[in-house]
């Protein structure tokens, strides 16, 4: 016998969705995706938040992450499975937060956004780092050395703590 509307369980809330975006989706954004996914799991929020990454350009679509990024991630205990892809404007309605790794990505993503509400979803990752200076870019390590990938990882790790706090607050507000 069908249940009355009062007896129906509440519809499950869709997961909160976050997408990290850099230039080619082979260095910074896959690192940010891996770190943030790990932070969510540690916080017990892995089932409530979906994390992804993409690039503003499609030069590396279908390829894995840069081997230096993979090496640094794995040495620090992060999972590193990844396939590069390009960010599409059609994704905006499906996402709650689009995290740019530098100011150029922020501008490009906001121009790409179909609505002002979608543009408002785009934020800089280091804006979540209370110790960050006025320069909120995560420098691109691609043309650098291994140390540049290590530096990128440290910046991502610190900012991910603040991002985690913000996402947790949003999830709690949604549940209330």
How large is the average pLDDT for residues 23-38? 98
The rounded distance, in Å, linking the Cα atoms of 172 and 154 is 28
Residue in 22, 123, 126, 129 annotated catalytic: 22
Whether residue 1 is predicted with pLDDT greater than 50 in this model: the reply is no
Helix intervals (H) in the chain: 28-42, 67-75, 103-112, 116-119, 146-175
Query: pLDDT at residue 89 above 60?
Result: yes
Quick one: 21-175 is in which CATH superfamily?
Response regulator (3.40.50.2300)
pLDDT digits (tens, 9 = 90+) for 54-81: 999 999 999 999 999 999 999 999 988 8
Higher pLDDT, 81 or 86: 86
pTM: 0.92
Which entry of 17, 63, 96, 140 is annotated as an active-site residue?
Answer: 140
- Whether 28 is a known active-site residue: answer yes
pLDDT 10s digits, 40-55: 999 999 999 999 999 9
């Amino acid at each position: 016998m069908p249940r009355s509307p009062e007896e129906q369980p509440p519809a499950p809330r869709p997961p909160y969705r976050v997408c990290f975006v850099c230039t080619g989706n082979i260095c910074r954004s896959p690192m940010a995706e891996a770190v943030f996914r790990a932070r969510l799991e540690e916080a017990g929020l892995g089932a409530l938040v979906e994390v992804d990454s993409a690039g503003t350009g499609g030069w590396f679509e279908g390829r894995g992450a840069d081997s230096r990024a993979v090496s640094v991630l794995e040495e620090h205990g992060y999972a590193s499975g990844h396939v590069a892809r390009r960010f599409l404007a059609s994704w905006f309605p499906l996402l709650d937060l689009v995290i740019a790794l530098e100011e150029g990505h922020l501008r490009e993503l906001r121009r790409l956004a179909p609505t002002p509400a979608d543009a408002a979803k785009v934020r800089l990752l280091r804006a979540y780092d209370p110790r960050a200076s006025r320069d909120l870019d995560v420098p691109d390590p691609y043309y650098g050395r291994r140390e540049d990938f290590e530096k990128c990882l440290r910046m991502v790790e610190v900012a991910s703590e603040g991002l985690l706090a913000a996402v947790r607050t949003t999830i709690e507000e949604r549940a209330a």
